[in-house]
Structure 1
Amino acid sequence: MKVVHTIKDLQAELADKKNIVLVPTMGNLHDGHLQLMKTAGAHGDTVVASVFVNRLQFGPNEDFDQYPRTLEEDCAKLEAQGVVDIVFAPSEKDMYPEPQVFTVQPDPKLADILEGFYRPGFFTGVATVVMKLFSIVRPNKAAFGKKDYQQLRIIQKMVEQFGMPIEIIPVELQRNQQTGLALSSRNRYLNDKELEEATLLYRTVKGVKEALEAGSSDADALEEKAMETLRQNGWQPDYVAVVRRKDLLAPTKDDLLTREPLVVLAAAKIGTTRLIDNIEVF
């Protein structure tokens, strides 16, 4: 496994490589990321993992400066796994040698709802850095986790809209096998008590899924009940939303009757840490 820090060095390494699969990350890797790498390895000949904390997707009151930078530890995990061929860990100056005034603006109908409503500009930052990574790496495929469900849909749509010859590989959300808690870099911010209580988010979205699959046709009522459950247990929920997988819009009554593929998305804060989770339905 090689670690490179500049675009020039990366492109030199990739000059004769075929069937390249990119896995974009911001580092601070956990087992969920390693599953992304494993899936990437099954879909290509050369796996490139990027490690870059992207300033563009952080809001003014978010944790860009505090976000953990653990490159040495990340590389050790990737080396031990034995799947990744190249780690691309550029500096901010290398990725953004001048202010990034050209940006990718996703469709507001997809990007300004849910996470995009609570984090204005977030998906513009995500789409812009992913577009730039695609331009630099020129992969044949790229792996993205379903943990960030809305992000996955936006990247899929971006690739489709721009006619990019890149296959997007969705990778299932990874959970703690004992508790069901979705694996996340932000989990390290939780103290022991919060870590135990954090499993309520998964149990809440799972409860909505089970009610829908048992025949409930009132998604609004299920959302509000789930939000109230979180509030009563000391959480600050932003949303619990039942939406269609294909476009992240609220389902109609007919969608529920015909069992249109849905997903339950949730975001809530416990203590000072904001967590997201989701679970597919039908």
Structure 2
Amino acid sequence: MNFSMLLVKTVNELKDELNKIDDSTNLGMVPTMGALHQGHMSLLKKALTENQNVVVSIFVNPTQFNNTEDLEKYPKTLVDDVDLISSISKNIIVFAPSIAEIYQDRVKSKIYDFAGLDKVMEGEFRDNHFNGVGTIVEALFSLVKPKRAYFGEKDFQQLRIIQKLVELQKIPVEVIGCEIVRENHGLAMSSRNERLSPTIRQNAAFIYETLKTAKHKFGMESVLNVKDWVAKQFKNSTDFKLEYFEITDVETLTPAKNKNIKIKYRAFIAVYVEGVRLIDNIALN
């Protein structure tokens, strides 16, 4: 059946709407934290082409923030988000619950064993972050029961964690990764970009340019040489502070020391600028 831009805020309202769906095998989901941009819209468009019905969740999840200030500053733009979704299609359920609706009176993460996927990069610098991600995604999957769920590759480590979560918890959903959408100058689209000054936002193309050059160098030089080169680029920058640059095995996210032609690699980066933390990544081979 078709819907006309439904916004629901409670679990009971959500269940009522999902019960109206004739074919639950044709249900897609796009989980988000709101402050939507064209990257989210690309996920939504893909979901709409592959599913008869789509649920978009908008929920700023407190258990995945290890920095209280970051949580408080995270933009909340529900009215604009709904307008943007509506411009793509009105055949969508938007689920925007409160924290109490999801967590009741216990705002706490579950603990998962992600087989080391959560111990590097983001996991190293954001304590308990991926347990928070796993907790909310498992809760949303349990409520919505989608056949397919769509996540952007900008958060590639998160994508691998969610694929692992589905495997661990035996959740019957296909997790689909979608290509990074970039601003015209190359900066990966992110809700956090809105917090950058116009000049720095433009200059932040430096992050993607560095990744592209690192990819080129990876074809000819050692892992260590590439990492040293990236570190030097940021040492010479007055605006951008490198938190980490890592080259890993795509499957296990194990940091690479030497190259193996049988393994696919990806480079990951996290950078601070104007107090805003930006992440990006690129396939290397």
- TM-score bracket, shorter-length normalisation: over 0.9
In structure 1, what residue type is equivalent to 2:231?
Answer: M
Offset of 1:253 from its aligned partner?
3.1
Give the counterpart of 2:38 among 31, 36, 45. Answer: 31
Alignment of 1:1-282 (within 5 A): 1-17=5-21, 18=24, 19-82=26-89, 85-101=92-108, 103-107=110-114, 109-176=116-183, 178-213=184-219, 215-216=220-221, 218-234=222-238, 235-251=240-256, 253-255=258-260, 258=261, 260-282=263-285
The 2-side partners of 1:275 and 1:111 are apart by 18
- Secondary structure of the corresponding residue to residue 202 of structure 2: helix
The 2-side partners of 1:52 and 1:197 are apart by 30
Residues 109 and 132 of structure 2 are in contact (CA less than 8 Å); yes or no, is this contact kept in structure 1?
A: no
Residues 112 and 120 of structure 1 are in contact (CA less than 8 Å); yes or no, is this contact kept in structure 2?
A: no
Comparing 1-10 with 188-197, which one deviates more in the overlay?
188-197
Distance 1:102 1:197, change over 3 A: closer
- Return the TM-score normalized by structure 1: 0.94
Residue deviations 1:62-95 (CA, integer Å, cap 9, x gap): 4111211100000000001116510000011111
- Secondary structure of the corresponding residue to residue 277 of structure 1: strand
Distance 1:254 1:221, change over 3 A: closer
The 2-side partners of 1:181 and 1:48 are apart by 28
Residues 114 and 165 of structure 2 are in contact (CA less than 8 Å); yes or no, is this contact kept in structure 1?
A: no
In structure 1, what residue type is equivalent to 2:121?
Answer: L
The 2-side partners of 1:104 and 1:135 are apart by 17
Residues 63 and 108 of structure 2 are in contact (CA less than 8 Å); yes or no, is this contact kept in structure 1?
A: no
Residues 224 and 257 of structure 2 are in contact (CA less than 8 Å); yes or no, is this contact kept in structure 1?
A: no
The 1-side partners of 2:167 and 2:247 are apart by 25
Number of residues of Structure 1 aligned to a counterpart in Structure 2: 277
The 1-side partners of 2:128 and 2:199 are apart by 32
The 2-side partners of 1:30 and 1:230 are apart by 28
The 1-side partners of 2:129 and 2:211 are apart by 23
In structure 2, what residue type is equivalent to 1:261?
Answer: K
Unaligned runs of 5+ residues in structure 1 are none
The 1-side partners of 2:177 and 2:103 are apart by 28
Identity %: 35
The 1-side partners of 2:259 and 2:58 are apart by 43
Distance 1:38 1:134, change over 3 A: same
Unaligned runs of 5+ residues in structure 2 are none
Comparing 157-166 with 181-190, which one deviates more in the overlay?
157-166
The 1-side partners of 2:111 and 2:13 are apart by 26
Residue deviations 1:3-44 (CA, integer Å, cap 9, x gap): 000001101101132211111000000000000101111221
Offset of 1:100 from its aligned partner?
3.8
